[in-house]
């Protein structure tokens, strides 16, 4: 696949009610804000929230699905800016902003269904 500057792509992920528990088992992140809805409410989050790195993983998956090969993703970074609640739908929009040598820079916008950006300054580098 030839990647060109200005190219866009998108994806979405529905966060099921067990996703934070599955991710906790895989990552070891059993912080109660992720797995105990009552604790999440007690600390003002409105319930259990998804681990930020799981949200970033959804963004990375969208990039690798578009690129066609997980090995092409060379770098990804972000700023975690808002919580993702269980049963939210995450939307990921990507755009190739630059190509230098064998790397394409991809800017991503990651939002929940309310339009709130849950990750900001999301940038990925993909091998072309």
Q: What pLDDT was estimated at residue 17? A: 94
Q: What pLDDT was estimated at residue 39? A: 98
Percentage above 90 pLDDT, the chain? 98
| Per-residue pLDDT reduced to its tens digit, 58-77 | 999 999 999 999 999 999 99
> Is the distance from CB of 103 to CB of 128 less than 8 angstroms?
yes
CB burial readout 59-71, b (16+ within 10 A) else e: bbebbbebbeeee
Active site (annotated) includes residue 35 = no
Q: In this structure, is residue 30 part of a structural domain?
A: no
Q: What pLDDT was estimated at residue 99? A: 97
Residue of 33, 35, 49, 92 marked catalytic:
49
Q: In this structure, is residue 110 part of a structural domain?
A: yes
Residue of 33, 52, 76, 94 marked catalytic:
52
Q: In this structure, is residue 43 part of a structural domain?
A: no
Q: What pLDDT was estimated at residue 2? A: 86
Active site (annotated) includes residue 21 = no
User: Is this model's pTM higher than 0.75 or not?
Assistant: yes
Percentage above 70 pLDDT, the chain? 99
Q: In this structure, is residue 105 part of a structural domain?
A: yes
Q: In this structure, is residue 41 part of a structural domain?
A: no
> For the chain, how many structural domains are there in total?
1
Q: In this structure, is residue 65 part of a structural domain?
A: yes
Domain residue limits at 103: 8-15+51-127
What CATH number is attached to the domain comprising 83?
3.10.129.10
> Is the distance from CB of 88 to CB of 46 less than 8 angstroms?
no
- Residue 50 DSSP code: -
Is residue 1 predicted with pLDDT exceeding 80? no
> How far apart (Å, rounded) are the C-alpha atoms in residues 86 and 75?
27
Q: In this structure, is residue 64 part of a structural domain?
A: yes
Residue of 33, 34, 35, 94 marked catalytic:
34
Active site (annotated) includes residue 88 = no
Active site (annotated) includes residue 52 = yes
| Per-residue pLDDT reduced to its tens digit, 81-114 | 999 999 999 999 999 999 999 999 999 999 999 9
Greatest alpha-carbon span in the chain: 50
Query: Helix, strand, coil proportions of the chain in percent (round to 5)?
Result: 30, 40, 30
Q: In this structure, is residue 121 part of a structural domain?
A: yes
């Amino acid at each position: 696949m030839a990647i060109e500057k200005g190219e866009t792509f998108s994806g979405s992920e529905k966060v099921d009610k067990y996703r934070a528990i599955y991710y906790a088992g895989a990552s070891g992140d059993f912080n109660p804000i992720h797995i105990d809805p009552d604790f999440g409410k007690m600390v003002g989050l409105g319930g259990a929230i998804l681990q930020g790195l799981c949200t970033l993983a959804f963004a990375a998956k969208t990039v690798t699905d578009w690129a066609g090969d997980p090995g092409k993703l060379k770098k990804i970074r972000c700023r975690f800016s808002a919580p993702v609640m269980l049963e939210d739908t995450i939307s990921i929009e990507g755009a190739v902003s630059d190509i230098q040598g064998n790397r394409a820079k991809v800017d991503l916008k990651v939002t929940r269904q309310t339009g709130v950006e849950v990750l900001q300054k999301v940038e990925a580098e993909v091998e072309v």
